[in-house]
Amino acid sequence: PLYLLCILLLLTLFLFLGVAFFNARGEPRAAIVAYSMLEHGNWILPVNNGDEIAFKPPFLHWCIAALSWLAGGVSEFTARFPSALSLSLMTLAYNGRRRRPERARRTALLTLSNFEVHRAGMACRVDMLLAALMVGALLALFRWSEGHERGVPWVAWLCLSGAALTKGPVG
């Protein structure tokens, strides 16, 4: 079942990421911030056209810029890849060691088949990255509260820090 879920993620998300042009107002805005980071080297306060500063915290832009640097330039695929990867990891995280693996599989399929979640996973927006980081933090805190982890819940702390760097106080 895990292999089937991975194949389903590949077929429904990653094959079509770069096919369509940017179709929402926020997508090219996030991509141009990543482009400015690569072009000018300012990864903290990127400036676009000499005076515009990014509207959102930089974590998504860092992800896009790092991937685009590896790929050789910012494109629709590289700009949308962090959202698709976030949805994939969030969906696969449900399939961890659970008492009821069938319920975990149904939850993963239900999440993936939700229209708004799938749309957010195919767009260059902060929403899917924020959702995946929040789900990761909640799952880590759940495992910690069950007693599977000792000490400080570092994974939850890192996920919540990433969420705050993705959308600010919401995270």
| pLDDT tens series, the chain, 171 aa | 778 888 988 998 898 888 888 887 788 888 888 999 999 888 888 887 777 677 788 999 999 999 999 999 999 999 999 999 999 999 988 776 667 778 888 888 888 889 999 999 999 989 999 999 999 999 899 889 888 778 889 999 999 999 999 998 888
Burial class of residue 82 in the structure, from the number of CB atoms within 10 Å of its CB (0-12 exposed, 13-18 middle, 19+ buried): buried
The Cα 142–Cα 148 span in angstroms is 9
pLDDT of the residue at 98: 64
Q: What's the pTM value of the predicted model, to 2 decimals?
A: 0.88
**Which helix (H) or strand (E) segment is 11 a member of?**
helix 2-12
Cα separations in angstroms, 98 against 22, 33, 80, 108, 147: 39, 40, 31, 13, 14
Q: Is 96 helix (H, G, I), strand (E, B) or coil?
A: coil
Cα separations in angstroms, 99 against 19, 94, 96, 104, 137: 40, 12, 10, 9, 20
